Structure 1
Amino acid sequence: MLTLHDHPRSGNCYKVRLFLALIGKEYRSVFVDVLARRNQTEEFERISAFQQVPALVDDDLAIWDSHAILLHLAHTYAPGWLAPQPYLGAMYAWISVSANEIANSLQPLRLTRVVSNAEAAHHLGVSETLLDVPGMERRTERVLRRIDKRLAQHAWLAGADAPTVADIACYGYLALAEEASIDIASYPGIAAWRQRIRQLPGYVPPGP
């Protein structure tokens, strides 16, 4: 059975839990208390090179990074979630948006809202005095406007007729936008897309 090293408040962990539910794959969950620094052990480092959650163990294979996990699961158990040509390049591009643009705007902004600034600074690897929350807010607005424009033109991010791994990758933190004090009604394309994802068979909401 698959083993997911997990934290219930992590958006990156949520996207993996969601995908496992959507593909109907059973797994065992192991709680990793990152706030208590329980991830900072040599034992966990053997599973996750940067001591980060999520991390997945599939038989003797340990995979870390949420996007690597999503792609492993799709390739191994659910190839229908991989975009067909000519949409494959767009799928990878939007996965990159999740790992870059969203991870450097909405994701840290939400972190500053749900934990203390000191805790947020620790997880972001910066001094608390260097936390630029107004900058995060500006970057988040720019990123959300771009995503909203895409979703006003396409039902799914890769442009295919069905959702792909890219949608789940980006949904992880877009599902938590309200926790970053974002009014999602200002982004109708994203709001409608979130509703489409919630209607997928097997959908599970975020949260503990």
Structure 2
Amino acid sequence: MITLYDHPRSGNCYKVRLLLSLINLPYQSRFIDVLARKNQTEEFEQVSAWRQVPAIEDDGLAVWDSHAILLYLAQKYAPQWLAPLPHSGQMFSWLSVSANEIANSLQPLRLTKVVSNAEAAHHLGVSEDLLDLTGLQRRTDRFLSLIEKRLGETPWLASVRSVADIACYGYLALAEEAGIDLNAYPAVFAWRQRIDELPGYVSPAHAN
């Protein structure tokens, strides 16, 4: 059985939990207390090279990074979540958006709302006085405008449903925790509802 090294408040961990539930793949969850620095051990480094969650172990193979895990799970267990040609290029592009634009806007903005600025700065690798809240909000607004435009043109990010939707959904499911009202982005709101209605869907609050 797959072991997921998990933290219930992590949007990246939630992406993996969501896909596992959508494809009805059994797993066991192992809580890693990131806030207590329990991920900063040599033992955990054997599973996750950067000592970050999420990570999984499957048949003796360790895979870390939420996007790598999503692709691995889809390739091995759920190829229906991989966009075929010619849409696969769009899938990889939106996975990159999740790993870069979201990871540098909405994701850290939400972090500053759910933990102290000092704790957020620690996880972002900057000193507290360099925590640029205005810049995070500006980058988040720009990202939301761009994804709103995309989803106004197509129901799924890669034109067809794929792991790219799960990757980008992870933190958009938590947008309200970042102080974002998605009613201002009707196409994003409708896309989020489409995912919410998929068979096997679990909310971010669900813990296995």
Runs of 4+ in 1 over 3 A off after TM superposition: none
Q: Distance in 2 between matches of 1:43 and 1:59?
A: 18
Runs (5+) with no aligned partner, structure 1: none
Partner of 2:142 in structure 1? 142
Partner of 1:16 in structure 2? 16
Partner of 1:46 in structure 2? 46
Deviation at 1:59, TM superposition (A): 1.2
Q: Distance in 1 between matches of 2:104 and 2:114?
A: 16
Deviation at 1:82, TM superposition (A): 0.3
SS in 2 for 1:36: coil
Deviation at 1:101, TM superposition (A): 0.3
Aligned length: 206
Match runs of 1:120-135 below 5 Å? 120-135=120-135
Percent of paired sites with the same residue: 70
Deviation at 1:201, TM superposition (A): 0.3
Amino acid of the residue matched to residue 166 of structure 1?
A
Q: Distance in 2 between matches of 1:54 and 1:97?
A: 18
Q: Does 1:95 align with 2:95?
A: yes
Q: Distance in 2 between matches of 1:167 and 1:146?
A: 15
Amino acid of the residue matched to residue 34 of structure 2?
V
Q: Does 1:70 align with 2:67?
A: no
What do the CA deviations read for 1:145-184 (whole angstroms, capped 9, x no partner)? 0001000110000012xx1000000000000000000010
Q: Distance in 1 between matches of 2:84 and 2:71?
A: 14
Amino acid of the residue matched to residue 176 of structure 1?
L
Amino acid of the residue matched to residue 21 of structure 1?
S
Amino acid of the residue matched to residue 64 of structure 1?
W
Partner of 1:82 in structure 2? 82
Amino acid of the residue matched to residue 56 of structure 1?
I
Deviation at 1:85, TM superposition (A): 1.1
What do the CA deviations read for 1:104-157 (whole angstroms, capped 9, x no partner)? 000000000000001000100000000000100000000000001000110000
Q: Distance in 2 between matches of 1:123 and 1:49?
A: 17
What do the CA deviations read for 1:178-204 (whole angstroms, capped 9, x no partner)? 000001001111000000000000000
Q: Distance in 2 between matches of 1:26 and 1:170?
A: 23
Q: Distance in 2 between matches of 1:88 and 1:65?
A: 20
SS in 2 for 1:158: coil
SS in 2 for 1:33: coil
With the length of structure 1 as denominator, give the TM-score of the two structures. Answer: 0.98
One of 182, 185, 195 as aligned partner of 1:184: 182
SS in 2 for 1:118: helix
RMSD, matched Cα: 0.5
With the length of structure 2 as denominator, give the TM-score of the two structures. Answer: 0.98
Q: Does 1:109 align with 2:109?
A: yes
SS in 2 for 1:63: strand
Partner of 1:170 in structure 2? 168
